[in-house]
Amino acid sequence: MASDAQAEGTEQQQRTAPDLLELQAVAGPRKVWTLRDIGSSNGTFINGNKLEEEGEAVELKNGDTILFGHDSKVRVQIRPVIYDDLTIQQILELECAREEQQIKARVEQLLSESEQQWQATKARLLTAHLADEP
């Protein structure tokens, strides 16, 4: 299966990203896109999770949000390329895999947002409780 990765962002963001990050298509039974921080000064985050500098490459999924620098944000779109020689069964399998990736990315995003909200609520309640103590 082939895929085409597209990053949405400003021209400046797209020019800066290659200097900080390594984006690579990995061949195999299915083509995957990976991202690795190769020495950014402010860190690189995928869906709020910081990549280790000079760490292992992380597989990108459709819908992932990449944050680098102070305010550079890119949303990943990976679209399968459909060829005329595929059977209907193969096309359906590709579409199911794509939908599954989108659902998983959304679930991860919602879990991350819920965790952040829970932490904020917990801190607020703890602060209020400590303020109420004599």
What CATH number is associated with residue 15?
Answer: 2.60.200
- What pLDDT was estimated at residue 9? 41
The answer to whether the Cα torsion of 42, 121, 65, 24 is positive or negative is positive
Q: Which residues pair with 52 in a beta bridge?
A: none
Task: Report pTM.
Answer: 0.44
Range of the domain at 95: 2-132
Which pair of tokens denotes residue 115?
A: 């965790």
Return averaged pLDDT per consecutive 10 residues of the chain, 134 residues in all: 43 43 61 80 86 82 83 77 71 85 89 93 92 79
Scanning 1-134, the segments in alpha helix (DSSP H) are 11-20, 88-132
Closest CA to 76 of 64, 87, 90: 64
Per-residue burial over 16-49, b = 16 or more CB atoms within 10 Å of its CB, e = otherwise: bbeebbebeeeeeeebbbebbbbebeeebebbee
- What pLDDT was estimated at residue 16? 43
Backbone φ and ψ for 13, nearest 5 degrees, come out as -65, -40
- What pLDDT was estimated at residue 93? 86
If one counts the domains in the chain, the total is 1
